[in-house]
Amino acid sequence: MSTDTPDLALPPVATGKPLTMKEVAALLVKHYDLHEGKFDLLLEYQFGAGAFGPTPETVNPGVMIGISKLGLTQSAQPGPLTVDAAEINPPPVQPRKKKA
């Protein structure tokens, strides 16, 4: 048996149920401690151009696109993926001071 064969990589396995875009936006609202306003998920993309191919003889020009950053943007017009910070992360209730 030959030992020259490369090890096959196992496919990635999720550690839990993958989150929807709306769930990620809700987590960021809590992360940034926002208590009011409507927000949409912001994705920042990064582009790279180059020569790609499975072998040096079959290289072609191509482009790769990756997500480089995630954030929130204030929603000008609410849509199906908009989250409301007041519902997701309501401000803490301040205890009333007793009058003397």
Mean pLDDT of 65-83: 95
Q: Are strands 60-74 and 83-84 parallel, antiparallel or unpaired?
A: unpaired
Give, in degrees to the nearest 5, the angle at Cα 46 between 60 and 80. 115
Q: Which range, of 10-14, 58-62, 72-76, averages the lowest pLDDT?
A: 10-14
Please report the pLDDT score of residue 11 as a whole number.
84
Domain ranges of the chain: 21-88
* Full-model pTM: 0.72
- The percentage of residues in the chain with a pLDDT greater than 90, rounded to a whole number, is 72
Distance CA 57, CA 51 (A): 11
* 98 pLDDT more than 90: no
Contacts of 46 (CB under 8 A, 6+ apart): 65, 66, 67, 68
